[in-house]
Amino acid sequence: MTTAPYDFDTPVDRLGTWCVQWDGVPDLLPFTISDMDFACAPPVIDALQRRVAHGVFGYTDWRNDDFRGAVRDWFEQRHDTDVDPGSLVYAPSVLNQISQLLRMWTEPGDGVVVHTPTYDGFRKAVGGLGRELRTVPVDDPGLALLEAELARPGARVLLLCSPHNPTGRVWSDAELAGMAALCERYGVAVISDEIHADLAHAGSTHLPWTRYARGRWALVTSGTKAFNFPSLSGSYGFVGDPDDHAAFVRRMDTGEGLASPAVLSLVAHIAAYREGAEWLDAVRAYTYANLRFVGERLNEAFPELGWVPPQAGYLAWIDLRGVLGDAGDEVLQRELAERQGVAVRAGGTYGAPGHVRLNVGCPRGKVEVGVEALVRGVRAVRG
């Protein structure tokens, strides 16, 4: 399958490139960490090549009109949302922003509320800073469970993943408005990680937190996920309160020594947002077709699953509890690695045993091999 004029079917050899996904498990076919096996968008590559040809890579200021204007226009054109470039901040990564904000807004022992299953980066950041991870399920009709956690003494921050990783859920207008009202009621700040926002599929609309923001809040994001250049680093965000914004910038410029960003990251972001929309639409269509293929094959093999593709992203979050029998994560993972030759993320990584997360941001041929291996593996362990 090819999405003209881009070829996503032809594999790109990533072995030997210090690639976490491939070189981390060189003897296995990997479907693990969330980056894609596709070459970056041509306009981004062209812009990077022009900047490299310039030959000078001196200290750089992210507070420039080209970068701020590209971000502003992207949010307006892509998400029908006006943002204030004056509230923009910059950091090496989304998780770095989250850690800085947690240091600013919480103390050790304070409660940070997250949805389960939970992106493992959240777990590491919250636990690593000595804060208490407090969880509520993604499926929470009426937000009653969320309200109970926000109302508990010591709750200081709702760390929201929007769209949600690993499930790919896109939060509705009513859900986001309800979360905002509850956080305001209980005096809880909000950090909304929206790095998967540009990967929402047709029929689902991502709604930025800036539309709902009340009280103390920040939206953190990056173009690195959707446009597949995470190794260039770089992220940005919006911090609502002017004093909080100034404190964040001061912390990065002085305490963290990160006043100057990686210039190639700025170049990539600007090119992606100015010229990369067509490529992004093509890659979303391709990966969604991969997800539909996963669903067709899994439901053919295990009709009781009734699996449907996520609303956003290229990560297939699959609940296998109904088909695994008595086999647990360790048994399935051992079967997949030792006998089927594939590496897939175990649900326990996200606090949800009995699930797997399968990355299908790759050529269809690889997806076919991975899904067949998963089907064989499940059949083998359940007896």
Question: How confident is the model at residue 45, as a pLDDT?
Answer: 98
Whole-angstrom Cα distance, residue 29 to residue 290?
17
**What is the pLDDT at residue 275?**
98
Q: How far does CA 361 lie from the centroid of its chain?
A: 13
Residues 6+ apart with CB under 8 A from 281: none
Interval 342-370: pLDDT, tens: 999 999 999 999 999 999 999 999 999 99
Q: Indicate if the pLDDT at residue 2 is higher than 60.
A: no
Residues forming a β-bridge with 72 = none
DSSP 8-state secondary structure symbol assigned to residue 3: B
Q: Can you give the pLDDT at residue 66?
A: 97
Residue 325 has a pLDDT of 82
Query: What pLDDT was estimated at residue 291?
Result: 98
**What proportions of the chain, in percent to the nearest 5, are helix, strand and coil?**
45, 15, 40
Judged by DSSP in three states, 321 sits in: coil
**Residue 108, Cβ density class (10 Å: 0-12 exposed, 13-18 middle, ≥19 buried):** exposed
Give the phi and the psi of residue 239 in degrees, each rounded to 5: -115, 120
pLDDT at 230 > cutoff 90: yes
pLDDT at 327 over 90: no
Q: What is the mean pLDDT of residues 119-143?
A: 97
Tens of pLDDT along 48-96?
Answer: 999 999 999 999 999 999 999 999 999 999 999 999 999 999 999 999 9
On whether the CB atoms of residues 239 and 218 are closer than 8 A, the answer is yes
| Mean pLDDT of the chain, nearest integer | 96
pLDDT of residue 189: 98
The model's pTM: 0.96
Mean pLDDT of 143-156: 98
Token duo for residue 77: 């054109």
Among candidate residues 63, 121, 70, 125, the one with its CA nearest the CA of residue 90: 63
Region 138-163 average pLDDT = 98
Q: pLDDT > 90: what percent of the chain?
A: 96
Q: Is the pLDDT of residue 377 over 80?
A: yes
- Residues facing 358 on adjacent strands: 316
Cα(310)–Cα(145) distance, integer angstroms: 23
pLDDT of residue 1: 53
Q: How far is CA 192 from CA 124, 138, 196, 272, in A?
A: 17, 15, 11, 22
- Region 284-311 average pLDDT: 98
CA distance 383 to 372: 17
Q: What is the DSSP letter of 239?
A: E
Q: What is the pLDDT of residue 4?
A: 67
